[in-house]
Chain A
Amino acid sequence: MEKCIACGLCSEKCPARTADDYEAGLSKRKAIYVPYPQAVPLKYVIDHDRCIYFKKGKCKACEKFCPTGAILFEDQEQTLELNVGSIILTTGLQTFDPGSFDTYQYSALSNVVTSIEFERILSAGGPTQGHVLRPSDGRTAKKIAWLQCVGSREINRCDHGYCSGVCCMYAIKEALMAKEHVGSDCEASIFYMDLRTSGKDFEKYYTKAEQDGVRFLRSRVHSITQTDPDGTVALHYATEDGCRLEETFDLVVLSVGMEPAESGVETARMMGIACNEDRFLKTRDFAPVSTSTPGIYAAGVATECKDIPQSVMEASAAAGSAGIDLAAARGTLVSEKHFGPEKDFAGQEVRIGVFVCNCGTNIGGVADVPSIVEFAKSLPGVAYVEENQFSCSQDTQANIAATVREHDLNRVVVAACTPRTHEALFQETIRDSGLNPYLFEMANIRNQCTWCHSGDSEKATAKSKDLVKMAVAKASLLEAIPELSVDITKAVLVIGGGLSGMTAALNLADQGFAVTLLERDAELGGVARDIAHTWSGEDVQAYLRDLRERVQTHTQITTLLNAEVLDASGFVGNFRSTVKQGDQTRSVEHGATILATGGTATRSEEYLGAEHPNVTRWHEIEQDPDKLAQASNVVFIQCVGSRNQERPYCSRICCTTSITQAIRIKQASPEKNVFILYRDIRAPGAKEKLYTKARQLGVVFIRYSLENKPLVTQNGEALSVRVFDPILQQPVEIQADLINLATAIEPNQTQHLAQLFKLPLNAEHFFMEAHAKLRPVDFASDGLFCCGLAHYPKPIEESLAQASAAAGRAATILAQSKARISPLVSQIDQGKCIGCGLCIEICPFGAIQAEEVEANIHRAANIPASCKGCGLCASSCPQRAIDMLHFRDRQIEAAIGAAV
């Protein structure tokens, strides 16, 4: 594996072809292959079952052509014994196989594809290069249908009573992408039961899709047929009002649901870990990443269907939880790499070494590498030039390091592929030879030259020379840049003492870090104080009592009640906040900050919410048992103030809460009539089973639309609800004794905190994370994290997972004695600065501050630890007083000057 340089010759010469799993079987690959071009590790591997040598005992074409002798036919499977303190299971999913569903004709009709196949069809690197072509005849598919809930919410045929939770969103995404790829005449239709866009910003995406012409049909398709020999497909379906319709499509996409990966189920069985009835690993609401075995944690789809952000949160939560168990052994099995001293070459003339890579035939097969080498020798400052077969291979690395020392080089240029994948490798190599890693520059003569000009070797050679000339010109002006690091205060400030804040605080305290937990109320607990049970029936008050006890008795946690943050300054590892508690203020120093400021259910005047004593909201209905006992007709109204123009988001937990309450009422008194008036029932994952159960118990669900909302009127004390029933196609009137409103959930006021810590809020004032998918608990600025309702409405188990994740992420900073930060930051010339403040305003990271240089005279000063090197300040400065290290104006100008 060390010898493989991923040149691809073996695969090119391999005579055996087989279905490509990565492309969902839509194209072929060789028996020796990399799964996809960006694979990590980028090493070719032999598919044992498809290799001709392994099947018939001869061939070995790959071995013959491999330039580095990397093929090992005699490689054997090995059994390793690992000694570990904890295990995390992230065994993932497999998609539902619709082949056995004759309704959908997936096996019979080639123009019926799964959503994973469609992802590959959309991909520019996929089998059709992103052209949306139908498999039957390769014609562009202009009319495409998505069928939702294939293998989800279905107990008759596939025994998956749960909702997969992600298909509505990915179908909308695929529909919008298809329209983008095919053009304006693409018609996209989504056939669905309930549209479940309850995640953060999902509802806006749904609305946008509607505006962009994606058609949403609330209907379940009952059969699929082929109408012509070319493969056009007819869908037969019934609308909600009972009309039977038939419509033809070029392509039908089955939005297949998720199952736990078979290999994960097998691993759990072998390890004796409990699974639930759907074969997902069993967890509890209060311990969302703990399996049935202590010390073994789980995250992602292994435990329940979920989307990417939730999987990433749980992954960080599992890491944080394992971190508690292993805190005493932190750092015992890892060591940092140490380098020798850097060479000082001050006053020395520029001596550049240029290494030109052939990359097998990738570069050498197109451009004339020897002539590039000769050209490089003629460039000013160049002291040494060498041609490599593969500059990135291990032996060449050793050679480069030796050459730098031998020829006393003080700058290095590698003309090869992209710095995105290889810069770090070469930087480490030259650091090994005693050079500062920033005395390095790459010329990308492969991706940006020989790959895109493969048909014209003369021009490719000329362009390669230009690229090398530019890199050399820049390299001659490169400077050594010292590494930057800051000390870390091993303490955390957690703002907000609800379930999320307490969970994050306790997790970090258990990992050994000092925590200050700040709560503005007189008591810990937040909104959880009003909740009796989680959706699966676990006792919230008992858990809360226990959690509060553990927090308040923990020696590492200082709890400050009736407290608020007055002021804050600093950066990762070094925050200082001023906290006010009663009349006293105190200063808190902390290396990381967690914002768990929570949210609240709004009050509503709609539906007589502010006027009538029998119109309640959320958990109020549980708080007066006598009133409930006397009621015969109970009506729940959903989406009160959510999913409208004022709040264009779904509050996510209201459907499950009302259904849970309805079930409790029905179970206690089956004779009561319980109605839930809803727009879409959004019960993701196993919560779908509550919806099924409620219907079995006789809860009546009536759908209403935003245009035709229920009407609540009062006659004396009596309440009446009038709503249009889309199944009966007529209005119904309910004499209600109690009406409970599922009002919108809003974040608590955080504008002040957001300003102090320079944190972005979205349009609805929820905190905005660094990246919706990949960094769901981080802020863009280092050392700051958020969790719970302050981020978005979510059920308790998701808040707890996010809280543990925030703790896990904070621990990655607090565990270091020093935080290493990129030294490629802005440099401000205060002599040129006029103190206009434009850079301070424009910096998205709060990395520039006004420094008082004389009385009332301010100049910009950068905070390297907060700077991300984006260069916005430099490009906006009217005085050109700001330069970016390693990308100084004169360095870039030299490169451009060399090109023109």
Chain B
Amino acid sequence: MLHTDMHAVASVATAPPVGAVLVVGGGIAGMQSALDLADSGYFVYLLEKSPAIGGTMAQLDKTFPTNDCSM
């Protein structure tokens, strides 16, 4: 379950910010956001409802144009 305190998020502009980010969803977009944030010096919580990250892309056999396997 996800619990958020909206006031805490909304007050980011005035209070000193917290250097952590919650990424909700561990598909290709969530993984990319998480990696970029971690590489930029932020702590990341990556939340995924299923037992493994990867999302829909992990189900695809091959992808255009390189025909790389999605894994």
The residues of A with any CB-CB pair to B shorter than 8 Å are 22, 24, 34-36, 38-41, 43, 45, 79, 81-93, 95, 116, 119-120, 122-123, 126, 130, 169-170, 173, 177, 201-202, 205, 261, 263-264, 267, 270-272, 293-296, 299-302, 308, 311-312, 314-316, 318-320, 322-323, 325-326, 328-334, 771-774, 808-809, 811-812, 815-816
B22 / chain A contacts, CB cutoff of 8 Å: 82, 84, 86-88
B45 / chain A contacts, CB cutoff of 8 Å: 82, 84
Q: Flag if A328 contacts B24 (CB, 8 Å).
A: no
Given contacts A40-B54, A116-B59, A267-B2, contact A329 B25 (CB under 8 A): no
B30 / chain A contacts, CB cutoff of 8 Å: 88, 90, 92, 299-300, 315
Classify chain B's interface size. Answer: 35 or more
Known contacts A85-B42, A177-B61; can you find 20 more A-B pairs with CB under 8 A?
A24-B59, A38-B58, A82-B45, A85-B19, A85-B20, A89-B25, A92-B29, A92-B30, A120-B59, A173-B63, A173-B64, A270-B2, A299-B29, A300-B29, A308-B28, A329-B42, A330-B40, A333-B18, A333-B42, A334-B38
A–B Cβ pairs within 8 angstroms, 18 of them: A39-B51, A79-B1, A88-B22, A88-B30, A90-B24, A122-B61, A205-B64, A270-B2, A271-B6, A272-B6, A293-B10, A294-B9, A295-B9, A300-B27, A315-B29, A319-B21, A326-B21, A333-B18
The 9 lowest CB-CB distance pairs between A and B, nearest first, are A300-B29, A329-B19, A315-B32, A319-B36, A90-B30, A39-B52, A812-B39, A85-B18, A90-B25
Cα–Cα, bound, A40→B54 (Å): 8
Interface residues of B in 1-19 (CB under 8 A from A): 1-4, 6, 8-10, 12-13, 16-19
Residue from B2, B29, B33, B41 whose CB has the most chain A CB atoms within 10 Å: B29
B23 / chain A contacts, CB cutoff of 8 Å: 87-88, 90
Cα–Cα, bound, A35→B23 (Å): 21
Given contacts A119-B59, A812-B39, contact A89 B24 (CB under 8 A): yes
Q: Flag if B20 contacts A83 (CB, 8 Å).
A: yes
Cα–Cα, bound, A815→B19 (Å): 13
The residues of B with any CB-CB pair to A shorter than 8 Å are 1-4, 6, 8-10, 12-13, 16-33, 36-43, 45, 49-68, 71
Q: Flag if A267 contacts B54 (CB, 8 Å).
A: no
A329 / chain B contacts, CB cutoff of 8 Å: 16-19, 42
Q: Flag if B62 contacts A173 (CB, 8 Å).
A: yes
- Residue of B whose beta carbon sits closest to that of A78: B1
A322 / chain B contacts, CB cutoff of 8 Å: 21, 37, 42
Task: Kindly identify which residue among B12, B40, B58, B63 contacts A808, using a CB–CB cutoff of 8 Å.
Answer: B40
Task: Kindly identify which residue among A41, A201, A271 contacts B65, using a CB–CB cutoff of 8 Å.
Answer: A201
Q: Flag if A294 contacts B18 (CB, 8 Å).
A: no
Q: Flag if B9 contacts A293 (CB, 8 Å).
A: yes
B41 / chain A contacts, CB cutoff of 8 Å: 330-331, 334, 815
Q: Flag if A296 contacts B9 (CB, 8 Å).
A: yes
Cα–Cα, bound, A34→B58 (Å): 13
- Residue of B whose beta carbon sits closest to that of A258: B56
B17 / chain A contacts, CB cutoff of 8 Å: 85-86, 325-326, 328-329
Q: Flag if A316 contacts B40 (CB, 8 Å).
A: no
Task: Kindly identify which residue among A24, A84, A122, A315 contacts B21, using a CB–CB cutoff of 8 Å.
Answer: A84
Cα–Cα, bound, A322→B31 (Å): 15
Q: Flag if A293 contacts B6 (CB, 8 Å).
A: yes
A772 nearest CB across to chain B (Å): 6
Q: Flag if A772 contacts B65 (CB, 8 Å).
A: yes
A293 nearest CB across to chain B (Å): 7
Residue from B24, B33, B38, B61 whose CB has the most chain A CB atoms within 10 Å: B33
Q: Flag if A312 contacts B32 (CB, 8 Å).
A: yes
Cα–Cα, bound, A319→B2 (Å): 20
Given contacts A81-B3, A300-B28, contact A334 B42 (CB under 8 A): yes
- Residue of B whose beta carbon sits closest to that of A272: B6
- Residue of A whose beta carbon sits closest to that of B39: A812
Cα–Cα, bound, A272→B9 (Å): 12
Given contacts A43-B51, A173-B62, A311-B29, contact A84 B40 (CB under 8 A): no
Task: Kindly identify which residue among B4, B63, B64 contacts A87, using a CB–CB cutoff of 8 Å.
Answer: B4
A334 / chain B contacts, CB cutoff of 8 Å: 19, 38, 41-43
Q: Flag if B3 contacts A90 (CB, 8 Å).
A: no
Residue from A43, A201, A311, A322 whose CB has the most chain B CB atoms within 10 Å: A322
Cα–Cα, bound, A294→B63 (Å): 35
Q: Flag if A311 contacts B64 (CB, 8 Å).
A: no
- Residue of A whose beta carbon sits closest to that of B62: A177
B15 nearest CB across to chain A (Å): 9
Residue from A120, A329, A771 whose CB has the most chain B CB atoms within 10 Å: A329
A116 / chain B contacts, CB cutoff of 8 Å: 56, 59
Residue from A85, A87, A116 whose CB has the most chain B CB atoms within 10 Å: A85
Given contacts A123-B61, A328-B17, contact A299 B33 (CB under 8 A): yes
B1 / chain A contacts, CB cutoff of 8 Å: 79
A119 / chain B contacts, CB cutoff of 8 Å: 59-61
Q: Flag if B12 contacts A86 (CB, 8 Å).
A: yes
Cα–Cα, bound, A279→B17 (Å): 30
Q: Flag if A40 contacts B53 (CB, 8 Å).
A: yes
Residue from A84, A308, A329 whose CB has the most chain B CB atoms within 10 Å: A84
Q: Flag if B54 contacts A815 (CB, 8 Å).
A: no
A759 nearest CB across to chain B (Å): 19
- Residue of B whose beta carbon sits closest to that of A38: B71
